Structure 1
Amino acid sequence: MGKKVLLNKRLRCIGAWLLSLFLMLPLCIPMYANAASTLMGTRATAADVVEATSTNKKGIQGVEFWTDSSDTEFKNSVNHVYMNLELTSIINTDGTGTPYVYNGKTYYFNYENYVKIFEWRIRELRAAGKIITAEVLMGWTDNPQLQKLIYPGGRESGHFYYALNVQDAEAVETLNATFHYLADVFGQSDCFIQNWILGNEVTAPQHYNYCGTYDANTNIDIAVKSFDLLYNAIQDNSPYAKVYVCPTHNWYDNLVGTGIPTKTFIDGFAARETGKNWNIAYHAYPRQMDKTMWSKDAAADLSHDITSNFVCAANLEVLTDYIKNTYGSSHRIILSEQGFDAGSLGQEAQAASLAYLYYAAARNDMVDAMIYVQYKDNLGATGAGLYQGLVNADGTGRQAYNVFKYMDTPYAASVVNPYMRYITPNANGTPITSWSDDIIWKAASTNATMTSAQLYIPDNQTGPCIQMAMSATASSETDLEYRWLVYDQSTGVWSVVSGWQLNQNILNWYPQKQGAYLVQGEVRVAGNPGSVLTAATGYQYGTTTTVPTLSSVGVYLWQYENGLIEGGAVVNDGVDTSQLSYRWLVYDVKNNQWIQASDWSGDYGIHYRPSSSGDYLVYCEVKDNAGHTVNTTVGVNYRHAIKAICQMPDPNGNGYLIGIQSFDNPGYYYEMQILDCNLYVQGKDAWIYTTGKCGTQDTTLWTIWQPVPGYYWTLFNLYDASGNLVDQQCYGFTNAE
């Protein structure tokens, strides 16, 4: 009886499908069977990945070095090539592009007039041994359909790039389809993008990842959800590639309130992405484009301490040691964009800066690439007063050209090493003697001491910026260094909000919440680290009576397929989320069982992997530090144990190659059945082919079938070890040959 009922359900499904098939066949035949399967060339494997060594990290943005230069030796010296992929140019909204089916819906992409150009060029560069890095960007567009892919709060023109819309289901599906398509095209062995970067300088949302707010939690949330979309697509269609998130060089600095400190961003991002192999595409620009890294001015923001305001080549280890020691060396770093201005610094300093950065990257085992910003000056940069090219706009070389060309060759000693004499990181102007020397400016040793220090915070400041200053005197005229700390009385924790800065006696402080604080300033003589004086005062930011209390929570699930139920909790507005704890439970309806997905923690997200398809209830409970709790429950229908299906002409000419893949294989059985639609409409026995229930050692089963011309329907079945059907997908196709 059970089999008969199942068969009747299948036949009713087939009948409805056949009607729609015969109505739609004259209009189009989908190009792809499933976003996770591919009809393209040979897929990239582990053998296509180029592992980093100390001698293959040198790269450049753009292809001008390849197309414009006749210097074969220079071309051969480049290991990494970086390109930008613009979503507004990739996605077609009028239905005239190349079709691609994702989750049963057809999307269109501009292959012929955009994607194909990159495909050809990457094949050429790959054949020459280059490693390809691509950054996926969302620019402004006047197309209202494409504007829907921009985060709702950021839909205004005038910014360079925009955050993605990870709120609306339709936009998320379009982005999912696009990322799967790109991973499909550029996951081919001879057209392999090894490094994928999503977004540009996401810690500078005013210009490069605009979403309408500078709030750190909002920007991190958008970054996490956006990263997950690309990461999952790469895992599905090009799993040997790496995915990166791109912050700026403002390590402990918030860009005067318009940005997010990179350390804050990384910590928030990593807390949400504990199960993913995220990586960092860092921009190691100097602190100021018109100042060298070894200048006295730069020393105001650079140190080898974790609280350094900025991190660049001069203190790269602050970033790399922190990632390695906190999150592990599996999270890789590429320096994906950096440049030095020959106009303000001079050609010698530009060349010296480039060499120092390259050698800092080459000797650092956490860094896999150093990619220079541009080969040739362009109008976009020179219009802003920056001359960062290795060659001028007319193609004539700068001194940095030969430094770049030879800095990883035996000629470096004669060509590159002479530029060390331009790096003088100390008060008496003595040059460095090794490319590993410390180049942060240092004051000459002195016996001068501090004689007084006072702290001043003006009244009636409403925020978000609270400004304060120190006045100090020393025993003789000398340079001073300042540091700032804040004590949060609600948590009992001291935080360094600004590390030692040279001659910077004013602090712009941006408290994250209202409350009572103790603010402490420290001052010392530059050149005499032991001469420290402190001054402190209490400060009340805002009022404590109007802070909203925890009263409600909602749950949004943005992923409930592909082996994972993933989502997050949102509490009522105004609540101090830093003081909340979350607990997640999942109820398995079929087995009448509650499962603890995660115990009380500060992670407001759920990352649960069901063991089988079924109906689930997701329960979230939130607790504040006073013990008040709220909870909510949402239902989810989880039905995705099949990871991918594939159906395409056999490249060897033996008919059709058909395959099914699961996420894992705990004793699964795989079965593929084919129905002849012509026989079915004639009322005849239409099931003409089956593999039977087959086991396999890995997660994939393939079969080859030789059809005659006609219309067919393939049923992909996945069974557990006991023979129970756990997942099922179907796909119709036409054999016109």
Structure 2
Amino acid sequence: MKRNIRLKKILMAALTAVTVLTATGSYSIVNHGAGEVAEAAGRVVKINSCTISGDNVVVNVSASSLPSSDDGKYYLYADEVYQDGTVGKVVATTERASNATFTFPLNHYTAESNLSKKFLVAVKSGGSMCQVSDEHYITNPEAIATKTVARNDHGMKGILPNTADAATFKDLGVAQMVYNLYMGDIVGPSSDPAQPTTEFTYNGATYQFNTAALAQYDGFVRWCSLNNFQLTMTVLNNKTAAGADLIHPLSRDAHVCPGYAMNTDEDGGTQHIKAIAAFLAQRYSGGAYGTVDNWVVGNEVNARTEWYYMNSTNIELNVSEYVKAFRIFYNEIKAVNANARIYTSFDQEWNRKSNPGCFLSKEYLDRFNYYMNREGNVDWSLSVHPYNAPLFDPYAWKQQAQYVNTTLATPYITMENIYILTDYMCRPEMLGPNGNVRNIALSEIGFTSSFGEDAQAASITYAYTMAENNPYITSFILFRETDDAHEMESHIAQGLKNLDGSKKMSYDFYKYLGTAQAATYKAKASEIIGHDVNALVTNRTFLSRGGWFLND
């Protein structure tokens, strides 16, 4: 979602290079806002699995050595996501041993629900409870799903629409849509007296939803279902009076942006987020409104000041707080619809920042993956936005060498080197719990026509060909079908149509990609590029260039 807040920053002539940062997989102290917590070093008990079995949760643990204990017992604590250490509730005990198992009720739909809590093992030593394991979440919430819906996977071509023009999208052969949902808008009493407030009881509490605001989303989800468009919904956390408790305490200053960090620091906000995730999953898993197959938790979450704001530059704090929100959405949604996919979202600034207040997407991805592995690997998916660098550069097939290269140290991930990312996701430590490479969605991509419609058409053709030849990419979502006048002030004209609705050259190119007529348009694109598109993609040919593109 590259609004003008992003465009103006990308247009800055001077960008500061940064050193490539990678996760080490270990560290000593993390500040979680509620105190400093010693991490994995010295914790001799490992939680090997934490899974739902029937109405219970079963936790299996092992110990490299037996920790000292006053009474020879292990205690299993269930903490809320905002709690650290032995401060939650003891849900089970067992005899201390090299291998042990805890079994306790899931208590789903009650005030004692354990679905989205985290668990840890402790012993009583010297009269005090001492944590002897890392935290671990339930990793199979889909085991209790009651509204599982068959996925509507039938093509990768998509669009992030700015109209509801079904005829245009069907003419283009679009299979997928992306839409943005703002949590702050849908909570609280209905804004229209003619539409009574929707009430939702979850885990022993009743929550209000704005029926009038929901109508916008109800209508769009239903429209997508009726027109056979697979839908991805991006959940953003905006500020409203009704949703004040959803905003993280470190996000409550005067900073203005479209998305704020979710409140995983306080009980009220945490429980409200659980209810929202469960409500959305239940509302949009088949039935009267249709289905959301894919959910994206936040947008470009590494872009701290722009899309997932917290008043903190500590990456460990920021990532750990986001992981808590992600875990809630993952478990609550998958517990309703087992086939739903839950995505995290990053921008293209792999090893270089346009805004020094943000985080590099690679370092954020590494830390996110570290936490997810450490606390129970699940089948999360990845959403990326591999725009050109800078955004208004018109040549997807020959990016500037100062911004894009074919090494892991590349400043940006664009369509010319998208395989750097997908190859990286093939590493053992990045794989899903089933050993497979994660689903990777290009959920936002676009190319300007400000410097020639031929360049835009060729860029879209090249980029789509790169995506369709990559076995790990599941979607290619263009942003947008019609130009935006404000964005055009910054040379960003990414639409397939002009402001007056007339079609650009790129319209037919995109229409015929992925069809029997694709070869004709690939041949036209190859003529514009000066190289065969298929050969460029198959051979991973890299046509970098130096200097400013206006001089090329």
TM-score by length of 2: 0.66
User: For residues 421-451 of structure 1, what are the alpha-carbon distances to aligned partners after superposition, in whole Å with 9 as ceiling and x for unaligned?
Assistant: 3335xxxxx67673515464347xxxxxxxx
Match of 2:335, SS state, is helix
Unaligned segments of structure 2, at least 5 residues: 1-107, 116-144
The change in CA–CA distance for 1:364 and 1:294 in structure 2 (over 3 A counts) is closer
Distance in 2 between the 1:57 and 1:374 partners? 16
Distance in 2 between the 1:99 and 1:303 partners? 52
1:160 aligns to what? 258
2:499 aligns to what? 393
1:86 aligns to what? 182
Match of 2:342, SS state, is strand
Distance in 1 between the 2:455 and 2:223 partners? 34
Alignment of 1:293-442 (within 5 A): 293=395, 298-326=400-428, 327-328=430-431, 329-343=436-450, 345-382=451-488, 384-423=490-529, 434=535, 436=537, 438=540, 440-442=542-544
User: For residues 49-83 of structure 1, what are the alpha-carbon distances to aligned partners after superposition, in whole Å with 9 as ceiling and x for unaligned?
Assistant: 1346xxx110001262xx336447515x1110111
The change in CA–CA distance for 1:340 and 1:314 in structure 2 (over 3 A counts) is same
Are residue 45 (structure 1) and residue 148 (structure 2) matched?
yes
Q: Which one-letter code corresponds to 1:160 in the other structure?
A: P
Larger relative contact order (Cα-Cα within 8 Å, sequence gap ≥ 6): 2
Distance in 2 between the 1:135 and 1:198 partners? 6
The change in CA–CA distance for 1:350 and 1:72 in structure 2 (over 3 A counts) is closer
Are residue 218 (structure 1) and residue 317 (structure 2) matched?
yes
Contact 1:140 1:157 in 2 (8 A): no
Distance in 2 between the 1:135 and 1:238 partners? 17
Contact 1:74 1:405 in 2 (8 A): yes
Q: Which one-letter code corresponds to 2:210 in the other structure?
A: N
Match of 2:406, SS state, is coil
User: For residues 81-119 of structure 1, what are the alpha-carbon distances to aligned partners after superposition, in whole Å with 9 as ceiling and x for unaligned?
Assistant: 1111111111115796200001111101123x1223322
2:141 aligns to what? none
The change in CA–CA distance for 1:296 and 1:406 in structure 2 (over 3 A counts) is closer
Q: Which one-letter code corresponds to 2:187 in the other structure?
A: I
Deviation at 1:187, TM superposition (A): 1.4
2:199 aligns to what? 99
Contact 1:288 1:298 in 2 (8 A): no
The change in CA–CA distance for 1:69 and 1:296 in structure 2 (over 3 A counts) is closer
Are residue 194 (structure 1) and residue 293 (structure 2) matched?
yes
Match of 2:279, SS state, is helix
Match of 1:237, SS state, is coil
Match of 1:334, SS state, is strand
Deviation at 1:257, TM superposition (A): 2.5
Bigger shift: residues 391-400 or 292-301: 292-301
Are residue 148 (structure 1) and residue 252 (structure 2) matched?
no
Are residue 237 (structure 1) and residue 336 (structure 2) matched?
yes
The change in CA–CA distance for 1:210 and 1:259 in structure 2 (over 3 A counts) is same
The change in CA–CA distance for 1:72 and 1:82 in structure 2 (over 3 A counts) is closer
Bigger fraction of residues in strand: 1
Deviation at 1:123, TM superposition (A): 2.5
Q: Which one-letter code corresponds to 2:243 in the other structure?
A: L
Distance in 2 between the 1:69 and 1:122 partners? 13
1:24 aligns to what? none
TM-score by length of 1: 0.50
Distance in 1 between the 2:245 and 2:303 partners? 22
Contact 1:206 1:214 in 2 (8 A): no
Q: Which one-letter code corresponds to 1:393 in the other structure?
A: L
Unaligned segments of structure 1, at least 5 residues: 1-31, 425-429, 444-478, 480-501, 504-737
Distance in 2 between the 1:50 and 1:72 partners? 16
Q: Which one-letter code corresponds to 1:407 in the other structure?
A: L
Q: Which one-letter code corresponds to 2:330 in the other structure?
A: Y
Deviation at 1:196, TM superposition (A): 0.3
Contact 1:294 1:439 in 2 (8 A): no
Match of 1:148, SS state, is helix
Alignment of 1:603-622 (within 5 A): none
Distance in 2 between the 1:122 and 1:218 partners? 35
Distance in 1 between the 2:420 and 2:500 partners? 38
Distance in 2 between the 1:228 and 1:33 partners? 17
1:284 aligns to what? 386
How many residues of Structure 1 are paired with residues of Structure 2 in the alignment? 395
Contact 1:423 1:439 in 2 (8 A): no
Alignment of 1:675-690 (within 5 A): none
Distance in 1 between the 2:470 and 2:298 partners? 25
Distance in 2 between the 1:131 and 1:292 partners? 29
Contact 1:277 1:330 in 2 (8 A): no
The change in CA–CA distance for 1:223 and 1:63 in structure 2 (over 3 A counts) is same
Distance in 2 between the 1:291 and 1:182 partners? 38
The change in CA–CA distance for 1:284 and 1:209 in structure 2 (over 3 A counts) is same
Contact 1:420 1:434 in 2 (8 A): no
The change in CA–CA distance for 1:117 and 1:349 in structure 2 (over 3 A counts) is same
User: For residues 380-434 of structure 1, what are the alpha-carbon distances to aligned partners after superposition, in whole Å with 9 as ceiling and x for unaligned?
Assistant: 533554211111122111111111111111112223421223335xxxxx67673
Contact 2:184 2:246 in 1 (8 A): no
Distance in 2 between the 1:297 and 1:325 partners? 26
1:207 aligns to what? 306
Q: Which one-letter code corresponds to 1:139 in the other structure?
A: N
User: For residues 659-697 of structure 1, what are the alpha-carbon distances to aligned partners after superposition, in whole Å with 9 as ceiling and x for unaligned?
Assistant: xxxxxxxxxxxxxxxxxxxxxxxxxxxxxxxxxxxxxxx
Deviation at 1:128, TM superposition (A): 2.9
Bigger shift: residues 367-376 or 433-442: 433-442
Distance in 2 between the 1:296 and 1:385 partners? 18
Deviation at 1:296, TM superposition (A): 7.0
1:248 aligns to what? 347
Deviation at 1:248, TM superposition (A): 0.7
Distance in 1 between the 2:291 and 2:170 partners? 24
1:132 aligns to what? 231
Contact 1:337 1:373 in 2 (8 A): yes
The change in CA–CA distance for 1:258 and 1:293 in structure 2 (over 3 A counts) is farther
Q: Which one-letter code corresponds to 1:353 in the other structure?
A: S
Deviation at 1:251, TM superposition (A): 1.2
Q: Which one-letter code corresponds to 1:166 in the other structure?
A: T
Distance in 1 between the 2:491 and 2:302 partners? 24
Distance in 2 between the 1:69 and 1:94 partners? 29
Are residue 266 (structure 1) and residue 365 (structure 2) matched?
yes
Contact 2:300 2:308 in 1 (8 A): yes
Alignment of 1:170-185 (within 5 A): 170-185=268-283
User: For residues 342-363 of structure 1, what are the alpha-carbon distances to aligned partners after superposition, in whole Å with 9 as ceiling and x for unaligned?
Assistant: 11x3211111111111111111
Distance in 2 between the 1:171 and 1:127 partners? 35
Q: Which one-letter code corresponds to 1:150 in the other structure?
A: I
Deviation at 1:337, TM superposition (A): 0.6
Are residue 68 (structure 1) and residue 165 (structure 2) matched?
yes
Contact 2:448 2:494 in 1 (8 A): yes
Match of 2:425, SS state, is helix
Contact 2:394 2:448 in 1 (8 A): no
Distance in 2 between the 1:131 and 1:254 partners? 33
Contact 2:199 2:208 in 1 (8 A): yes
Distance in 1 between the 2:360 and 2:404 partners? 14
Q: Which one-letter code corresponds to 1:250 in the other structure?
A: E
Instruction: Give % identity.
Output: 24
Q: Which one-letter code corresponds to 1:301 in the other structure?
A: Y
Match of 1:108, SS state, is strand
Q: Which one-letter code corresponds to 2:165 in the other structure?
A: D
